[in-house]
Every structure is written in structure tokens, then in C-alpha cells.
Amino acid sequence: MDHIQGRSKEDICAHWGDDYDRYLGAIVPPIFQNSLFTRKTVNHGYTYTRVSNPTTEIAEKKIAALEEAEEARCFSSGMAAITAALMSVMEKDCHIVCPLNVYAPTKIFLETYMARFGVETTFVSGESASEFEAAIRPNTRAIYLETPLSNVFTLQDLRAIAAIARARGIVTIADNTWATPLFQNPIACGIDLVVHSATKYMGGHSDIIAGVIVGSKERMERITHEERGLFGATMDPHQAWLLIRGLRTLPLRMERHQESGMRIAAFLEEHPLVERVLYPGLPSHPQHELGKTQMSGCSGLLSFVPRGTKAQVAGFIKSLTLFEEGPSWGGFESLINSPGLSLDEETSRRTGVPQRLVRISVGLEHPESLLADLDRSLEAMKRL
């Protein structure tokens, strides 16, 4: 990968992996919207789009370079990438360690679905590396991480956990969706496999569902033939083309998401009607210092707990005009949702997800308009 060394992430997003001469100088690559590649006269090395596709490969080259990894493989969704990465390291009756507040479908996959195959998962808070170490058993195959967690925003120490796992031959997988490869590179911290929901910031326009795994050439080749080839959750070339378009502006968008995210987090922290803000970018975050050792920036997804009843919180959400209500994030548009409102008290206590927790995805609107919208709706909440 020496040829990548020294290239900025901006340059990678703009040009890396593009091969203009190969495609008649087209500055934007063509969409190879074909299932098969004939080889009667020339074998170009492609056979079938489930295995590989020239358009998809451009996205894969860019993402591998951004993640400082050898290779990447695209999938039809983030969950397709996560389940493939996990399946690639699990065996019947093995054991996994994972943070309790991991992305809910990932938790359900491990806890419920994989339990059918004898896989057991120990869920830990994830805030200290020693919890992972203590949970390890002789049959532990993988430690799965997601840092920060995309609801409560606690971090896991990538370097310490990777070292613990390496010493015992345990594979580490990290979901890096929140930080994006621009702000965090788990492979450089010793993690084996990185997974992303490219539906979020990488796509960036709320118009695709997409996923990616990055890691060593050896692991990626095996995943191409086994989990991707056999389960078939390959990315469609048109989806890959939209993903490439999203990547072109990723550095610019992340700069704005970070700037607006920081401003809004700081504003909320000072607001009398806000009890608590959960955002690793704030110096008050208990793991702020750890964050600085493994992340070079913060994205625009954060949570906070308004001071009010559950009904007031629901009213606050409804009264916002610039934040649409929805569960996803990472797009151009500001969003809000309330993952805690559906939890019963016991679950809320056990998971540490407050019932009144609201999560906002700070979009690309003007930060002043977003601040004004939040301020006005918090004031309106008081009167409910």
C-alpha cells in the first residue's frame, strides 16, 4: 500500500481507484449494470457480478484506502456486511463478546439468531478493556465492537482490546459507521475487520442501503467466496455508483457535520432544559481523552436527555420544524428519534438508555437555523 501513503483522504475520495483511461476518459465511471462478463475472446478477470464488478471495485478501492486496509468488499446493506463479517469468524458452539448497547439488529443476530447454532454471546458495557478480557472463554472466537455506540456514545478502547484479542488468537471486528474512515481507522489500531453501514455518512444522501467490510487481502478473498458468494448479499452496481458519488463529498460533508454537531452539543449542554448530552466531542464526556487517542474528529450524531416528562419529550420532537422524525442518520437532513421512549423502566435501567433519551442526526442545514429550532421547541416543551 506504499502508493497510498502520503495521499490525503480528500484525494482518495476524489480520484483513488478511478481508472480514467480504461473508461474513455469518463470523469465519472460507468455503471456496469450487467450480471455476467463474457470471456470468449478476452478474459478481463471478471465473471459474474455476485463475485466482482468493475464499478463496485472502485468504491471498494476508495474505502480500503480510506481505512488504511488492504482490501474492502461491498455488500447490499450494513447488516449484510456485519452478519458476513461475524459468520466469517464464527464456528458452531463458539463464544462472542460484544457491547450491550450495540446496534439493535446486530444484538438480535448474535443473541437470538446465532443462539440457534449454539453461539453464545457475553454482553459487556464496553467502557473498559478489562471487561472484555474477563469475559473471554476458551471458545471465544471474536470480540465485536462498535465505537462509539450509536445511542449512548460510550467508547471502547480499540488498541487495548485489539492487543488482548491478538494475544489469544481472537478476531476483532469493529463497526466504524459513526466516526467514518475520516475520523477513525480501527485497522491502524490493530483491529482485524472493520464494518460499515455505508447507508449513513458514506452514502450521505439517504438514497441507498449499503454496507462494506475492510480487512486483510486474505480475509477479504475468503469472504468474497464464502459469505458474500454463498449468501449473495452483494452490492448492486447502481448502488455502488451512488456510493462512489457520496464518497466524493464525504470530507466536505464530515467537516460540516462535525462543526455543527459540536456547536449543537455545546449549546444543548448549556441549556437549562437539558439534563445531559452524550457526545464524545464534549470535554465533559467521561471518555473524551480516550476518544482523542483513537479518533481525529467527531461526526454529527448525538443524544441528549431533555428535562421533562415522557409526554413533554414527545411534544418537543413534534414541535421541531427542521428535524424530521426517523431512525436513520448520516444523511444531508437533520433527524430526531427517541430510542428510549419504547423501553420499559427495567430495560432502561439495565441498559443505561434513559427513557427520555433523544438522538439527533445533525444535517447540513445552517447550524444557526438548527439551534433556533431546538431552542424554540425546548421552550415550547415547558408549556406542554
Ligand X SMILES: *Cc1c(COP(=O)(O)O)cnc(C)c1O
| Interacting residue ranges for ligand X, rule: CB under 6 A | 77-79, 82, 103, 146, 150, 175, 177, 197, 199-200, 209, 211
Q: Are 105 and 81 in contact (CB under 8 A)?
A: no
Nearest Cα to Cα of residue 365 among 269, 223, 263, 241: 263
Min CB(199)–ligand X separation in Å: 4
Min CB(75)–ligand X separation in Å: 9
Q: Rank residues 79 and 381 by Cβ distance to ligand X and give the closer one.
A: 79
Q: Rank residues 14 and 209 by Cβ distance to ligand X and give the closer one.
A: 209
Q: Rank residues 281 and 308 by Cβ distance to ligand X and give the closer one.
A: 281
Q: Rank residues 182 and 381 by Cβ distance to ligand X and give the closer one.
A: 182
Distance CA 162, CA 184 (A): 15
Q: Rank residues 82 and 89 by Cβ distance to ligand X and give the closer one.
A: 82
Which string of DSSP letters, residue by residue, matches 101-139?
A: TS-HHHHHIIIIIGGGGT-EEEEE--SSHHHHHHH--TT
* Residue nearest ligand X (C-beta atom): 78
- 295, 364, 80, 235 alpha-carbon torsion, rounded to 10°: -120
C-alpha cell at 347: 430495560
Min CB(12)–ligand X separation in Å: 22
Min CB(343)–ligand X separation in Å: 18
Q: Rank residues 243 and 381 by Cβ distance to ligand X and give the closer one.
A: 243
Distance CA 74, CA 225 (A): 13
Min CB(355)–ligand X separation in Å: 21
Q: Are 127 and 147 in contact (CB under 8 A)?
A: no
Min CB(233)–ligand X separation in Å: 10
Q: Rank residues 90 and 179 by Cβ distance to ligand X and give the closer one.
A: 179
Min CB(245)–ligand X separation in Å: 17
SS3 state of residue 207:
coil
Distance CA 240, CA 60 (A): 9
Q: How many residues does the chain have?
A: 384
Distance CA 63, CA 57 (A): 10
